[in-house]
Amino acid sequence: MGKLDDYYQNCAYPKPRSVKKKKKMNGWKNKPNRICKYCGKPYAERHEVFGGSNRQISIDNEFQVDVCRKHHEELHANCTVWAQRENQRLRQHYQLQYEIELIEQGYTAEQARREWMRLIGRNYL
């Protein structure tokens, strides 16, 4: 707690503590040890397969792949045929993996698909 936090708690009307959830980030931890999945270059970045509003879900469930800067930009831009195919392939792979894990835990195939739809909101298979 900083000095300013102490000050606000001693005021006649204390400032409420922030309850906003802190966003997760992949950051630079162990970046020198990451290798690009496609070309083998070191210092790879983490690419979240499901971006946008599902980025935090991708981080939580490890729907991520390590790629070099060049491939990361290409995957994000999704403008080449390779990037479009690879993004689709990665999304299908992680959906299938997620559903198989749920089925192994005792879910039916239908329940597993429903859980995926609740999580991501789109079926890629």
Residue-wise pLDDT for 69-106, tens only, equals 999 999 999 999 999 999 999 999 999 999 999 999 99
pTM to 2 decimal places = 0.77
**Domain-by-domain residue ranges, the chain?**
25-119
Complete DSSP assignment for 49-112 = SS-GGGHHHHHHTT-EEEE-HHHHHHHHHT-SHHHHHHHHHHHHHHHHHHHHHHHHTT--HHHH
pLDDT tier at 23, thresholds 50, 70, 90: low
What pLDDT does residue 30 have? 78
Residues 106-120 have a mean pLDDT of 94
**What pLDDT digit, counting tens, does each position of 6-17 carry?**
666 677 776 666
